[in-house]
Structure 1
Amino acid sequence: MSEESTQQPELETAPAPQKQSRSEMRQWTRDLLVSVLVSVVIITCLYQPVRVEGTSMQPELRNSDRLFINKFVYRFEGISRGDVVVFHYPLNPKESFIKRVIGLPGDHIRIDQGTVYINGKALKEPYVPRRYRDHRSMAAGVVPPHEYFVMGDHRNISEDSRDFGPVPRSDIYGKASFIYWPAGQMGTVH
């Protein structure tokens, strides 16, 4: 007769499924909370998704385009002529408008038959196609300190500083940065 071993082979003991499941659940919950916190910080402080309503910024921005606005950039740099900005509408601060900055504080501005003059020189505006131009005129004036003269690119339908006056710096809260929807329009805002 052969001798049989009575010793049992050692088996690796796996953690109890319940303990492993709890550990995974805690890690998953932690990762989810960190992701939500980072998203809130980004949306609150840096970038905010917005939807364009209206056609006053065509052809650059169309009705229902989705884009990100940079809410942080103007803490480090000044607002420049040509920037597309989002601001609280001066006549109803609960509404937001998006327009292009045309005149800076201290600029002498006038509009003659649709041509904008800044400090006596005609402004080159390649972002306004010929078919979107209008023939409105506006008497000469000076943009007040800490205010900006804004206009839509689709001039013949835009309600802008020609109608409601310059926008106070304190009402401007973001710069249009990136169109993310529709996918065919995806890219930076110029």
Structure 2
Amino acid sequence: MKKLFLFIWNWVVPIAIGILAYLAITTFWVNVVTINGDSMDPNLLDQQKVVVQKTQNLKRGDVVVFDARQEDPRIKAGNKDYVKRVIAVAGDTVEYKDGTLYVNNKKVDESYISTEEQNAGTASSFGSSWSLKTLSSTGLWEKSDQNKSVVPKDSYFVLGDHRSVSNDSRYFGFVSKKHVIGKIHVPFWYSTTVKNNISKQDQHYFA
């Protein structure tokens, strides 16, 4: 009996605690996901593994994962989650004019992407000037998101860093806070260039 107790105490209990800890961490705090696609290139690369912190305390510049099935009515078969950058939060205005992106009439520092993506990439199918009002009046967005001039409560306006290929808020509208899975963190074992591109945006969002 004593040997059985020692076996349980020394082996079964630690293993059980480890399993419970893992489940708690992955369910309530962090998880590891693999980037699929190049809509966040060059800052996040296809097949790169990143850590997702399960939080809803988000700010402009954060890179997030959200349930695209709840947001994009034209989602492609097999897709589930999108990774995009938060450009604006509830109450913000967004406007793009002649190669420059503005939030609340302040120029956004977009040094984390190329000049080409800042200009042609952001204009994409919507021309050299657009705003939330014009985007939300295209008929592409869900009815609940249409004809809005500011980001609604508990919502975000998101863009991919690789604007010319990214399917983002320009095409499907605002992302609800309740559909956000978490915030992306780049692990230490990836290149410093990638990490710096993410942290730079966190620290210097407005020019």
TM-score (normalised: structure 1)? 0.77
| Matched residue, 2:40 | 57
Give 1:91 deviation, angstroms. 2.0
> Which residue pairs with 1:84 in the alignment?
63
Letter in 1 for 2:184: A
Corresponding position of 1:6: none
Larger Rg: 1
Instruction: Supply the distance in 2 between the matched residues of 1:126 and 1:68 (Cα, whole angstroms).
Output: 23
Q: Which residue of 2 aligns with 1:139?
A: 131
* 1:170-181 correspondence to structure 2 within 5 Å: 170-179=178-187
Unaligned runs of 5+ in 1: 1-17
Instruction: Show CA shifts across 1:72-112 (max 9, x none).
Output: x33xxx32100111111102697111111001111111223
**1:96 alignment counterpart:** 81
Q: Secondary structure at the match of 2:17?
A: helix
Shift in Å at residue 27 of structure 1? 1.8
Quick check: 38-47 or 139-148, which moved more? 139-148
Corresponding position of 1:185: 191
1:116 to 80, 84, 101: 101
In structure 2, the partner of 1:41 is 24
Alignment deviations for residues 119-162 of structure 1 (CA, whole Å, 9 cap, x no partner):
22221112112343342142343212221100011111111100
Q: Which moved more, 1:117-126 or 1:133-142?
A: 133-142
Select the structure that is richer in helix: 2
Match of 2:161 among 145, 153, 158: 153
Contact 2:95 2:102 in 1 (8 A): yes
Deviations 1:28-57 (A, max 9, x none): 121111101001000000001111101111
CA positional deviation for 1:173: 2.0
- Larger RCO (CA within 8 A; separation ≥ 6): 2
Superposition RMSD in Å? 2.5
DSSP-derived class of the 2:6 partner: helix
C-alpha contact 2:110 2:118 (8 A) present in aligned 1? no
Instruction: Quote the sequence identity (%).
Output: 31
In the aligned structure 1, how far is the partner of 2:190 from the partner of 2:72?
Answer: 34
SS of equivalent to 1:85: strand
Report if aligned partners of 2:32, 2:51 keep a CA contact under 8 Å in 1: yes
The aligned residue for residue 125 of structure 1 is 110
78-87 or 123-132: bigger deviation = 123-132
Equivalent residue for 2:13?
30
Q: Is the 8 A contact 1:133 1:154 kept in 2?
A: no
Q: Is the CA contact (8 Å cut-off) linking 1:148 and 1:166 kept in structure 2?
A: yes
2:151·2:157 contact (CA, 8 Å) conserved in 1?
Answer: yes
Q: Among 57, 68, 89, which residue is 2:51 paired with?
A: 68
Structure 1, 137-146 or 94-103: larger mean CA deviation? 137-146
Q: Distance in 1 between matches of 2:21 and 2:48?
A: 25
Shift of 1:22: 6.9
Distance in 1 between residues matched to 2:15 and 2:81, nearest whole Å = 32
